[in-house]
Amino acid sequence: MAEPILRRGLLYVLSSPSGAGKSTIARKLLAADDEIGLSVSATTRPQREGEVDGQDYHFVSNARFDELVEQAAFLEWAHVFERRYGTLKSEVRETLDAGRDVLLDIDWQGTQQLKQVDPDIVRVFILPPSMEELERRLRDRGTDSDEVIAGRMQRAADEISHWAEYDYVLINDDADSCAAMAIDILHAERLRRNRRTGLVDFVRGLTG
C-alpha cells in the first residue's frame, strides 16, 4: 500500500449542556478511533467519585491554577459553574506531536477562545432531543434538589444559546447513532485538503 498522505493533526471540540450525553459520545469516539486522544483539562473543581486524577482532569488547587495562568500554560481557560477549567498547551502539543488528533471537551467560552488561537478547529455541538429529556437525564443522575436541577437547566439553556457558533450540530436521540455521526465528522475532516500537507508532493509526483 502507498504511504499515507501527511496531514496536520486536528483539534476536535465537543460542547454541549451537561446532561446531553457529551461524555458518552466522547468515550465512544475515543474507543472507536486510535488516532485521536483526549486533552485532559486542568480544573479547580473537586474530584468526583470514580474520577481519576490525570485521566478525567488534572485536579489542581486555586493557587496552582493561578500559577498556570501566570506561566501562560493554557490555550484557553474559563469559569464554569464558579470553578475554573483550562486546556493545557502541553496536553495538546504532546498529542499532536505523537501524530494524533486531539479531542477537547470544553464549553462555549473555551471554544470561542480556541477559535481565536487556531481558526482551523472543528467545532461540534450536541443538543438534547428536548428540554424535558434533558431534565429527566439530570434527575436520573442522582439526588439533586429541585433548586439544583433548576440551576442546571438554566445553565443548559445558556450553553444551548451558543449552538450556532459551531460547525456541526448533532441531536443526541440515541448515543450510538450520535457517536457514529461524531465519528463520520472526524473522518471527513481528516480528508480536508488544507490539512493534508502531503498532497502537494503527491500531486507533484503524479503530474511531474
28, 38, 60, 85: residue in contact with ligand 5GP (rule CB under 6 A)? 85
Map the footprint of ligand 5GP across residues 55-84, applying CB under 6 A: 76, 78, 80
Q: Of 114-153, which residues contact ligand 5GP (CB under 6 A)? A: none
As measured in angstroms, the least distance from the Cβ of 82 to ligand 5GP is 11
Provide, rounded to whole angstroms, the least separation between the CB of residue 173 and ligand 5GP.
20
131, 150 Cβ separation under 8 angstroms: no
Q: How far is the CB of 21 from ligand 5GP (least distance, A)?
A: 12
Is residue 41 involved in binding ligand 5GP (CB under 6 A)? yes
38 binds ligand 5GP (CB under 6 A): no
Let me know: does 67 contact 102? Beta carbons within 8 Å.
no
Q: Is there binding between residue 24 and ligand 5GP (CB under 6 A)?
A: no
Q: Rounded to the nearest whole angstrom, what is the least distance from the CB of residue 38 to ligand 5GP in the complex?
A: 10
Helical residues (DSSP H) of the chain, grouped into ranges: 22-32, 62-70, 89-97, 108-117, 131-140, 146-160, 175-190, 199-207
CA 53, CA 158: separation in Å to the nearest integer?
Answer: 29
Q: Which residues contact 141 (CB under 8 A, 6 or more apart)?
A: 19
35, with CB counted inside 10 A (0-12, 13-18, 19+), is: exposed
Contacts to ligand 5GP by CB under 6 A? 18, 41, 45, 76, 78, 80, 85-87, 105-107, 109-110
